[in-house]
Every structure is written in structure tokens, then in C-alpha cells.
Structure 1
Amino acid sequence: MGVFTFTNEYTSPIPPAKLFKALVLDSHNLIPKLMPQSIKSIDLLQGDGGAGNIKQINFIEGNYAFLLGQLSSMKNHVDELNLKTFTYKYTMINLKEKFESIVYEVKFKPTQEGGSNNKMTSTYSTKGDVELKE
């Protein structure tokens, strides 16, 4: 088993509260509109909007096969959702044979200019001798 961690950081002129609302709280509405060629819909399967939720992302047929095998959907368990610190952590729960777990942690922090510094860390725990490449 191997553990691979990837981190992406970017800045935005949009304040953290507004980005957090759009990309996390309203993601089920926004993401299918932003990615209609890939994402069919996002459904809340369990929960009331906070930690403990289970969301299902439904893909357009044929997408994301390069990473996760042929999937028609993906389920995420919301581990943490903090409206004060603008942090969000979730775990993919319906993984194929290559992964033990995939955990994503997203943080939105304010900048002095009124925008935000945003960081996403993805941690992939693989099964066996699976190796990830960029």
C-alpha cells in the first residue's frame, strides 16, 4: 500500500465566504452547470447539509474512467464542514480495487486584498503496488 498526497493552491479575488458557499454549500447546483460535459447531477443521499452527509455525483457516461475505472457515479462522505473556518473535508466511499481511501481537504482563507487563498489537499491510499502518476 502507498500513500500519495497532492496539494493545489490558488488565490482568487472572491472572498472565502462567497467561494465556500458556491463551491461547497451550493456545489450540487453549481458544479453540474459548470461541467455539463462530465457531471450529470449531484444528489444528497443522507444528511441535512452538514458533516455526516453522503453525496452522490452522477457522471455523464464514459467520463473519469482514466482514474477510477468505469464509474457512473461516485459517493462522498462529508467528514467536516466548518462554516466559521471555511474548511471542508470529505472521503470517497465507493472505491474500486485500486484504492483503500481517497480523502480531500479544502481550506479557504482570506487575503489582505479581500480575496481568498485556497488550498486543496488530496490523499490517496492505494491497495497493493498501485502507483499514481501526475
Structure 2
Amino acid sequence: MGVITLENEFPVNVSPAKLFKAYCLDTVALMPKILPEYIKSSEIIEGNGGPGTIRKITFVEGKPSFTRKGLNYVKQKIEAMDKENFTYSFSVIEADVWKFAEVEKVIYENKFVRTPEGGSICKRTRTYHIKGDGEINKDKIKDVYGKKTEGLLKAVEAYFMANPDA
């Protein structure tokens, strides 16, 4: 089994506390509000929201520009969460369409760091665990998933700019 690790940084004009809240703590309630055109629902199916919790996100059908065409849901397991340091990791444990047959699982590690202007830098590390001798195109997944993460964070930013008291 091989491992591919990719790192990205994304600037966001939202404080680390608000970004952490939307992306980690209140994602079940906030993400369908922030991205109603893409996320139909988000629910906890096991656990209390902390490490070990399993969350299911159901996507609106027919939206290939944000999710993968044909992807209706994904299940994520929260691996670790540090509310004081704004770090959070989760793994994708199930999806009705897995884009790469060679991938066993993907672990996402996120850290939200304050900028001098009061915004954040989202530092994201994705670790792909590859089955057997499988191979995936590192450059392709870096570009595709980097753009999707950036789009998600820009949507969160726009939500908080329009709803500063949220």
C-alpha cells in the first residue's frame, strides 16, 4: 500500500474561530445553509460530534461542479479535533461513488491559523492511502480537490460576510 500526501493553503477572510465553527463544530447545521445548492443535508449518524463521530453528507443530485457527478453521499469519520488550536481531521470512510478504485481511504487534516488582518489561512493536508500496487495521478487530484476546497472555503467566507453575527 502506498501513501500520497498533498498540502494546500487557502486564505479566508474569516477568523479561525468562525471558520472552525462552520467547518468543524456546526457543520451539520451550517453547511446546508451555506451551500444549499450542493448540500441537501448533513447529519450525525453515530457519536456526539467529537472524535469517533460519523457524519453523513447528502448532496443535491446533478451538481457535478462541486461534487463528483453521481456522488450522492459521503460518510466521514472525525479522527481528531482541537478546539483551542483550531485543528481538525477526518477521514472519508464511505461514498456511493468512489472516484479512484485504487484508494482505500483519504484523511484530511485541517489547521486554521490567524492572519494579521484577522482572517485565516486554512492549511490542509490530504493523505491518500492507496490499495496494493495501485497508482493515482497526484497532479490531477491536487488540482481538482484544491479547487473544490477553495470553493468551499470561499462559500463559507461569503456566508459570514453576509451574516456577520452568525
**TM-score clears 0.5:** yes
Residue 56 of structure 2 corresponds to residue 56 of structure 1: yes
DSSP 3-state at the match of 1:17: helix
Question: 1:124 — aligned with what?
Answer: 128
Indicate yes or no: 2:10 matched with 1:5. Answer: no
Does residue 82 (structure 1) correspond to residue 82 (structure 2)? The answer is yes
Residue ranges of structure 1 left out of the alignment (5+ in a row): none
User: What is the letter of the counterpart of residue 87 of structure 1?
Assistant: T
The list of structure 1 runs, each at least 4 consecutive aligned residues, that deviate by more than 4 angstroms after superposition, is none
In 2, are the aligned partners of 1:2 and 1:131 still within 8 Å (CA)? no
Question: How far apart, CA to CA, are the structure 2 residues paired with 1:130 and 1:94?
Answer: 20
The CA deviation at 1:5 is 2.4
User: 1:61–1:130: structure 2 CA closer, same or farther, 3 Å change rule?
Assistant: farther
Cα RMSD (Å) of the superposition? 2.5
AA of the residue aligned to 2:21: K
2: CA distance, partners of 1:73 / 1:13: 29
Give the aligned partner of residue 104 of structure 2: 100
More off after superposition, 22-31 vs 101-110 = 22-31
Tell me which protein shows more helix as a share of its residues: 2
> TM (normalized to structure 2)?
0.69
* Residue 47 (structure 2) pairs with residue 43 (structure 1): no
Look up the SS of the partner of 2:31 in the other structure: helix
SS in 1 for 2:94: coil
Q: Distance in 2 between matches of 1:50 and 1:12?
A: 24
- The alpha carbon displacement at 1:72 in A equals 2.2
Range 39-48 or range 11-20, more displaced:
11-20
Q: Which amino acid aligns with 2:4?
A: F
Partner of 1:34: 34
Whole-Å Cα distance in 2 between the matches of residues 98 and 39 of structure 1?
26
Shift of 1:62: 4.0
* Count of residue pairs brought into register by the alignment: 134
Deviation of the 1:11 alpha carbon:
2.3
Specify the alignment match of 2:14 in structure 1: 14
2:146 alignment counterpart: none
Aligned in 2, Cα 1:125/1:39: closer, same or farther, shift over 3 Å?
A: same
Does the 8 Å contact 2:5/2:126 carry over to 1? yes
Report the AA paired with residue 129 of structure 1. Answer: G
Structure 1 residue 112, shift from structure 2 partner:
2.6
State the identity %.
40
Distance 1:68 1:130 in 2: 20
Q: Which sections of structure 2, spanning at least 5 residues, go unmatched?
A: 144-166
Give the match's secondary structure for 1:101. strand
- Corresponding letter in the other structure for 1:105: E
